[in-house]
Amino acid sequence: MGSKNKLKHFEENKTFGNVLQPTREELLTSFNLKGNWHSLFKNTNPVVLELGCGKGEYTVSLAKLHPERNFIGIDIKGARFWRGAKTALSENLENVIFLRAQIELIEKIFAPGEVAEIWITFPDPQIKFKRTKHRLVNTDFLRLYQKILTENGFVHLKTDSEFLHGYLLGILHEGKHEIMYAHHNIYKSSSAPAEVTSVQTFYEKQYLSQNKPITYIQFRTKYTL
């Protein structure tokens, strides 16, 4: 994406009613929507997050499939989710919000038990050991997710990275967490959840055209917090 387009998208995001861009200082001090997201959506439906949402393709598609839920796509790169925000507005999807924020601040954004589900779709696997702290499914992040999830809330990881798939399975087995569903090639599974195979991002379609396996894990963490 050229710099001119990025600047244009940044400016257009400011006019979108479904985009929130709080400053880091606002998030660290007193973010007024923490514990009050239902007031923004004007209903008490379950809140579902997509972390590192990119262009927001999954966020928007899930919102269409589940009008009875509220969806929030989170990414620090607002120029990316501009596409998803624009699509949601043009299609009058009132159950979609995009939030520009760093994922490590998620505990400042949502109150304990405020989130029903978390989707993590095709994150950077951060394969190098020194990048472990940036993996969105490392133990530190998993503890953060558990804090904001409801008692029965759960997390989805969908990725083309066999490394990340195996890394997370190792953490879950070692910690005796609850693995609700796991498959190393979700499109070869006859029992795959419909929303996992029916929604495909631009890059996912490219991976599939190259016969690259797409992995999937659905799980609950059981840390003592």
Q: Which residues are catalytic?
A: 124
The number of beta carbons lying within 10 Å of the beta carbon of residue 194 is 8
Q: Are 209 and 161 in contact (CB under 8 A)?
A: no
CA dist 196 → 17, 39, 48, 126, 152 (Å): 28, 29, 15, 23, 20
Residues 81 and 53 sit within 8 Å (Cβ to Cβ):
yes
In angstroms, rounded to a whole number, what is the distance separating the alpha carbons of residues 46 and 69? 5
Sequence-ordered list of residues with C-beta below 8 angstroms from that of 92, at least 6 positions apart, any chain: none
Q: Looking at the DSSP assignment, which residues form a beta bridge with residue 119?
A: 50, 156
Residues 178/222, Cβ–Cβ less than 8 Å: yes
Q: Which residue has the tokens 């985009």?
A: 19
| Spatial separation of the C-alpha atoms in residues 15 and 218, rounded to whole Å | 36
Q: What span, in angstroms and rounded, lies between the C-alpha atoms of 96 and 84?
A: 9
Alpha-helical runs (H) found in 66-200: 78-90, 106-109, 139-148, 162-174, 194-197
Question: Which two tokens mark 68?
Answer: 């009875």
